[in-house]
Chain A
């Protein structure tokens, strides 16, 4: 039917037919909208409520013993003298080294796999295995660390040392960082890369100037999540033989150490109520360290986004 042949009568009948064919049912659609919204609000409320209750509980029992001497004392058999200094220092050392090791290695591997390796069976094989590694229980990494860094490479790593702990946790979070890096790189529009290559750039110039900066906020988010996982890990560090009683400050990466979650675990597992309160104080310290770490990364990220 050509346009000219549409008479008024036909146009009218088309209109009627259209009304019958489409039933907008706005009321029903809005109801569905409201139900969906309510469901998401409920989910959020539950999540936040559980978290708030947990925090409240920890704060109630932990604030009492959280004072200056708690932060500046070494562990002790007497609860009123016990402090968290050596665990705090251990966590600081370990996390610093984990960040130093895992960032370049993880981001570098992600870059290689995404930008250079091409799409062949080898790359896909590695990709699948890395995704699987991200899901391996952490205690397995502890066993790996024990064999590799304590037993085989013990002469260089100092055995049950900070370095061994950091290397083990690095192995643990590398898959997470690699996967996050690849996702972030994949989200960079191809048109940006093409624009770079069309100007006569080589791969390195395109990656360094365009792909990486565009993907960087996403990569940083992945690194934050990975480091947050590492800071709370206990099992692999106990496996490699981190001590629970360290009445001194580590002076270098080859010294023995303990970390916050191990110290907390140690206090929780004692029978006395006073030690349980100390554990709650330790949890508060751990949370604060985590928050400081994350806000630093968010600060970096926002600066980076502004710079462009």
Chain B
């Protein structure tokens, strides 16, 4: 199995993962993940359902902490900082600070049941933003390509928007607190092609300022937007369960054009199973 096909240029990596194992209870869900996510690029995670893409993604901003049974082994570095420290350092580590620097957009749009304005402003306010709030709200909504659609109804509930608009509102909310990395878990899964296109264009702009990791089931999307692609798969274990692993991680052109693994070739060309 190929463990790490990326160059070991640590200095250009926003996130680097070494020998990551994630358990839910006693079940090993994902094993032996090694990868580097380069700064200001888009990395796509693809692979069949249940192979652990979301699980790995949630490790990056420690959202797995919210799942009582989840346990993480291995090392993940964010800008050189170990985000799963052990021993004494673990007590001093604060995932709250980490999550401000690594934002997340979820598969299902989940705006707060508050006004559109407040959806954006809240994150900034709790993180002690001192600048002009109106200006920040406008800038974030423009950044997520939704300003023109909502500028006249900022006081209305975020839930009154369409699904695609809600998702862009969630992206605006994520970029408002100026994170360094944005994690997107199937952000277009519930969207029509036009909204999807808007979000893809948005990602191409966002990568100038942010590093983006996106999980997607849409092969075209992965090949269109991403610079690097990680293909995951799941294999049966002796105990009868399934465990996910990273099959191949390389430049997107290589994964889609000339992958090293037969499995990857089958999957990206739709000839799987």
Contacts and interface: CB of A to CB of B under 8 A. Distances in A.
Grouping DSSP codes into helix (H, G, I), strand (E, B) and loop, the A interface class, with mixed when no group exceeds half, is helix
Contacts of B123: 199-201
Contact of B106 (A118, A119, A195, A213): A195
Q: Give the top 8 A-B pairs by smallest Cβ distance, nearest first.
A: A200-B100, A199-B123, A191-B110, A198-B104, A200-B99, A195-B110, A205-B126, A202-B96
Contacts of B174: 198-199
Contact of B96 (A192, A195, A201, A209): A201
A214 B114 CA distance: 10
A81 interface: no
Size range of the chain A interface in the assembly: 20 to 34
Interface string B161-186: 00000000010011001000000000
Contact of B157 (A194, A210, A308): A308
A209 B114 CA distance: 10
Contacts of B100: 199-200
Given A118-B68, A199-B126, A199-B173, A191 B108 contact: yes
Contacts of B114: 308
B234 to A, nearest CB: 24
A96 interface: no
Nearest to B100: A200
Interface string B142-162: 000000000000000100000
For chain B, the bracket of interface size reads 20 to 34
Interface in A133-149: none
Interface in A104-130: 118-119
B113 A308 contact: yes
A248 B173 CA distance: 61
Nearest to A200: B100
B63 interface: yes
Interface string A202-233: 10010001100110000000000000000000
Indicate the member of A192, A195, A196, A202 with the most B CB atoms within 10 Å: A195
A200 B127 contact: yes
B88 interface: no
Contacts of B68: 118-119
Contacts of B106: 191, 194-195, 198
B96 A194 contact: no
Given A192-B110, A308-B113, 19 more contacts: A191-B108, A191-B110, A195-B106, A196-B112, A197-B99, A198-B99, A198-B174, A199-B126, A200-B97, A200-B98, A200-B100, A200-B127, A201-B96, A201-B126, A205-B126, A209-B126, A210-B112, A214-B113, A308-B114
B111 to A, nearest CB: 8
B23 interface: no
Nearest to B176: A199
A189 B110 CA distance: 10
5 contacts: A192-B113, A198-B61, A199-B103, A200-B123, A209-B126
A172 to B, nearest CB: 34
B112 A195 contact: yes
Contacts of B103: 198-199
B239 interface: no
Nearest to B170: A195
Interface string A236-265: 000000000000000000000000000000
A199 B177 contact: yes
B97 A192 contact: no
A197 B122 CA distance: 12
Interface in A5-61: none
Nearest to B98: A200
B61 to A, nearest CB: 7
A199 B97 contact: no
